[in-house]
């Protein structure tokens, strides 16, 4: 799965690219960042940095959906949707979550996660 993600983001990664991508040494300390919303209950078991990253990714994704005039189906939360797209294990990897955070913040509507979220929402709406 991570190789597919790396190809999506960076082309064809080498083993050293994968090692760098998944290393915790590149993850940013979020001590200086704060979120106005409370930590989501689904992220309480994760280290605080991961919960903060997840909260910011959720907020930014919700904002991007509003700008695109799209809505989540009422039975889904943004955290649930991101978890479905990325996979639960991915959310526990600081390096992967940090790279996803960077991609969403820097690329916005063209980030891999947001594009996958929109496709997933389309599938949900099609199935309903």
pLDDT at 28 over 50: no
Q: Give the per-residue SS3 of the chain.
A: CHHHHHHHHHCCCCHHHHHHHHCHHHCCCCCCCCCCCCCCHHHCCCCHHHHHHHHHHHHHHHHHHHHCCCCCCCCCCHHHHHHHHHCCHHHHCHHHHHHHHHHHHHHHHHCHHHHHHHHHHHHHHHHC
Q: Give the per-residue SS3 of 63-97.
A: HHHHHCCCCCCCCCCHHHHHHHHHCCHHHHCHHHH
Q: How would residue 15 be classed by pLDDT, with cut points 50, 70 and 90?
A: low
Q: How would residue 42 be classed by pLDDT, with cut points 50, 70 and 90?
A: very low
Q: How would residue 31 be classed by pLDDT, with cut points 50, 70 and 90?
A: very low
| Segment 74-98 mean pLDDT | 90
pLDDT at 47: 57
| Segment 55-62 mean pLDDT | 95
């Amino acid at each position: 799965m991570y190789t597919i993600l790396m190809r999506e983001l960076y082309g064809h990664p080498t083993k050293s690219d994968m090692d760098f991508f998944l290393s915790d040494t590149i993850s940013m300390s979020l001590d200086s960042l704060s979120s106005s919303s409370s930590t989501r209950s689904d992220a309480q078991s994760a280290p605080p940095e991961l919960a903060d990253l997840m909260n910011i990714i959720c907020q930014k994704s919700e904002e991007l959906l509003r700008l695109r005039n799209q809505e989540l189906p009422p039975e889904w939360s943004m955290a649930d949707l991101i978890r479905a797209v990325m996979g639960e294990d991915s959310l526990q990897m600081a390096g992967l979550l940090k790279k996803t955070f960077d991609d969403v913040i820097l690329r916005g509507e063209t980030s891999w996660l947001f594009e996958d979220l929109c496709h997933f929402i389309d599938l949900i709406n099609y199935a309903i």
